[in-house]
Amino acid sequence: MNSPYAMNGGYKTGSYRQAGLNKYKRQVAETRTMLFQMQAMKLMSGGEDKTAAARRDYVLKRVTREFWTNFVVRGEETAMLKTLQNTLREEFGQDLQFFYPPGDTQMIILHEGENGLEPVSPHKQAVIVNRAWQIARDLVAEHMC
């Protein structure tokens, strides 16, 4: 049988499955990035304020959103992202994992609970996301000066 499918309808090896999952993960990250960029383009096209402060604020928001995308969606490791993770760990007293379940658009924040990793409560998630966004914005602003 030349097909990668076994008689039971599954894959012969886990490598096919892993390659498919990796491709799917890249596509999801690219889609979310594209959605953020489309939103930025809409903001740019409509009555953009021309003052220096307004342009700086727009660039700050745009760079912060890219930074946030790298942090949450792509999970990339940079010095700034490590600073964000460390600050969140210090403020909330534990490691937090930001996670998008496959095929879902709602982010979940996981923390170490009694039974392993578990989602934080919706209220705590809102607090964490708001604080993480503030920290990210401050980090970006600090590096833009």
| Domain layout of the chain by residue ranges | 50-144
What is the predicted pLDDT for the residue at 87? 92
Q: How confident is the model at residue 3 (pLDDT cuts 50, 70, 90)?
A: very low
What is the predicted pLDDT for the residue at 143? 80
Supply the DSSP string of the chain, one letter for each residue: --SSB-TTSSBSSHHHHHHHHHHHHHHHHHHHHHHHHHHHHHHHHS----SHHHHHHHHHHHHHHHHHHIIIII----HHHHHHHHHHHHHHSS-EEEE--TT--S-EEEEEETTEEEEPPHHHHHHHHHHHHHHHHHHHHHHH-
pLDDT tens for each residue of 44-103? 665 555 677 777 888 888 888 887 777 776 666 778 888 888 999 999 998 888 877 777
What is the predicted pLDDT for the residue at 74? 65
pLDDT tens for each residue of 4-59? 444 445 555 677 777 777 777 777 777 777 777 776 666 666 555 567 777 788 88
Q: How confident is the model at residue 1 (pLDDT cuts 50, 70, 90)?
A: very low
